[in-house]
Each structure stands twice: as structure tokens, then as C-alpha cells.
């Protein structure tokens, strides 16, 4: 698979670099099921910090604040498997927040991005997960924002949406643009920092989740324990409604002169 090369040397950590609705929750669960590839979650997403802090029972200051070093230490403990490998998922919009937190803890303010990550997490590698069909990704994102149903596991009943989703061309177009901008930003950051990530596609993950997981393990230089099964724990949420919205978007785009062609992407 293009973008994959076996790791040379020991890996201490890796980051799944992505955008919303690329199958990242599925990939995180698959990698966690190996028991050797960390426990990747969105530990550094700012809106979730209070939830993580409560789960980890972190002490708070008199004003209710969190000690950043305690938070990072707890995240490292939560994200590691027994072999010491740490993993986390990072959306583009989370990256600056992560660096802000790390620079407040580690006494190397002049360190570059990669040096800072290696200082905080040890030898770090990167997996870039993207989706070729950006329109389908935007439709999935907009629907999830409305329903607040972002994922379902195979052990739970189907979740009921908070409200019925409604099609909106302009909202979907804006998300298409956001996704394209964030993908461009990831690629520019990789180039600027000198990172060669493993590249994984949603389309491959959807078709062969176990195969993609094995490719990532190979890139990281990790071996699946003998007898261990790679097991997906999330169900696919896309259905006929997604397909209808994609078709409707294309029809409205074609029927309306002057609408930006940059929104036409699949």
C-alpha cells in the first residue's frame, strides 16, 4: 500500500493525524484491539479535557483548573499499552492546542514541533488518515453534527438522533471547503517539519479494516501477538440518506450557475 514503509528502530508513540469522518474511530478501535499499538483516543481535544480529567480523577486547583503536567502524564498512561507504546488521535484543529500544552510543560520553548513531540512522547511516528470522497465525508460530518450520533459499537443498540437531519447545500459546501483546507494544512505541516507519515485511506479501511491495521502495525514495527485477533468494534453509519444527499448536492451544484466548483469533489 502506498505510503507504508516498515519502521526502522523502536517506536515509542504515534499520532493518527486526520479530519472528522474518515473512519478514525474505527481505526483507533482496531489498533487498540491488537494490545500492542497503544490506546489511541482524542486525549488533547480541548472541549473534552474536563471529561478526561474527571475520568482520570485528576486533582484541581482552588479555582477548578487542571495542572497541565498532571493531565499530560495521565494521558500518556491512558494511551499506552503494556509494551509502552502510546497513541493518540489528532484532528488538524487540535494540533496548536496540543503544542500549547506541551510547551507549557517542557522547558524547551525554542524546540521545533517534531523535537517537542519526541521530547514529550519519545520517538514518534505519524499515520495520516484521509478520505478520497470529500463530499461523502462532508455529508457524514454534517449529518452527525445534527443528530449527535458520531459512532456506534457492535455491542450497543442503534442510537436515536437528537433531531432529524435536514439537507443544507451551503452547510455541506462549507464543510467540503473546511476538509480540503485541513487536508492541505496537514500536508504542508508534514512537509515543513520533515515528516513522512504512513498514509491510510478511508476507502481502504472500509474495504479491508484488518489489512489496513496490519499495514499500520508493520509501519510502526510492531508485531501482532500470537493468537490475537484484530476486531472492529464500530458499525458503519452511512446509509441511503447519505447517498441521497450526495446525489442532491451534485444535482443542485450542476443546476446553479456561479456556485464555486471547488465544492464539487468526490
CATH number of the structural domain spanning residue 98:
3.40.50.300
pLDDT number for residue 161: 61
| Chain-centre distance for alpha carbon 31 | 12
C-alpha cell at 266: 468526490
pLDDT number for residue 149: 72
- What angle, rounded to 10 degrees, do the helices at 169-193 and 134-147 form? 120
The answer to whether position 176 is within a domain reads no
Q: What is the mean pLDDT of the chain?
A: 89
pLDDT number for residue 35: 97
The answer to whether position 196 is within a domain reads yes
pLDDT number for residue 240: 87
The answer to whether position 32 is within a domain reads yes
Per-residue pLDDT at 256 exceeds 90: no
The answer to whether position 254 is within a domain reads no
Domain that holds residue 117: 13-132+182-236
pLDDT number for residue 266: 43
Domain count, the chain: 1
Q: Summarize pLDDT for 3-26 with one digit per residue, the tens.
A: 455 555 679 999 999 999 999 999
pLDDT number for residue 151: 62
The answer to whether position 173 is within a domain reads no
Residue with cell 506541551: 102
The answer to whether position 143 is within a domain reads no
C-alpha cell at 67: 495542572
Lowest mean pLDDT: which of 87-101, 149-163, 213-227? Answer: 149-163
The answer to whether position 218 is within a domain reads yes
pLDDT number for residue 264: 47
Lowest mean pLDDT: which of 1-10, 221-230, 250-259? Answer: 1-10
The answer to whether position 20 is within a domain reads yes
CB 78 within 8 A of CB 39: yes
CB 204 within 8 A of CB 130: no
Look at residues 188, 224, 175, 195 and name the one whose alpha carbon lies nearest to residue 22: 175
Q: Is the dihedral of CA 241, 22, 221, 88 positive or negative?
A: negative
Amino acid at each position: 500500500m502506498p505510503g507504508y514503509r516498515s519502521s526502522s528502530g523502536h517506536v515509542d508513540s504515534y499520532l493518527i493525524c486526520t479530519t472528522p469522518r474518515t473512519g478514525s474511530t474505527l481505526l483507533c478501535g482496531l489498533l487498540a484491539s491488537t494490545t500492542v499499538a497503544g490506546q489511541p483516543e482524542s486525549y488533547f481535544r480541548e472541549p473534552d479535557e474536563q471529561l478526561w480529567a474527571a475520568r482520570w480523577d485528576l486533582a484541581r486547583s482552588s479555582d477548578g483548573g487542571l495542572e497541565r503536567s498532571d493531565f499530560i502524564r495521565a494521558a500518556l498512561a491512558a494511551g499506552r499499552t503494556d509494551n509502552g507504546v502510546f497513541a493518540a488521535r489528532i484532528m488538524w484543529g487540535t494540533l496548536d492546542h496540543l503544542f500549547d500544552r506541551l510547551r507549557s510543560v517542557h522547558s524547551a520553548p525554542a524546540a521545533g514541533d517534531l523535537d517537542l513531540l519526541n521530547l514529550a512522547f519519545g520517538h514518534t511516528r505519524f499515520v495520516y488518515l484521509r478520505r478520497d470522497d470529500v463530499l461523502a465525508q462532508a455529508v457524514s460530518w454534517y449529518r452527525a453534527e445534527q443528530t449527535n450520533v458520531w459512532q456506534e459499537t457492535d455491542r450497543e443498540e442503534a442510537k436515536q438522533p437528537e433531531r432529524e437531519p435536514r439537507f443544507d447545500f451551503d452547510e455541506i459546501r462549507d464543510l467540503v471547503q473546511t476538509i480540503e483546507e485541513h487536508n492541505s494544512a496537514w500536508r504542508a505541516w508534514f512537509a515543513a517539519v520533515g515528516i513522512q507519515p504512513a498514509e491510510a485511506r478511508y476507502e481502504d479501511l472500509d474495504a479491508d479494516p484488518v489489512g489496513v491495521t496490519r499495514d499500520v502495525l508493520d509501519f510502526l514495527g510492531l508485531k501482532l501477538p500470537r493468537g490475537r485477533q484484530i476486531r472492529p468494534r464500530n458499525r458503519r453509519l452511512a446509509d441511503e440518506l447519505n447517498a441521497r444527499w450526495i446525489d442532491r448536492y451534485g444535482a443542485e451544484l450542476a443546476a446553479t450557475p456561479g456556485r464555486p466548483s471547488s465544492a464539487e469533489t468526490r
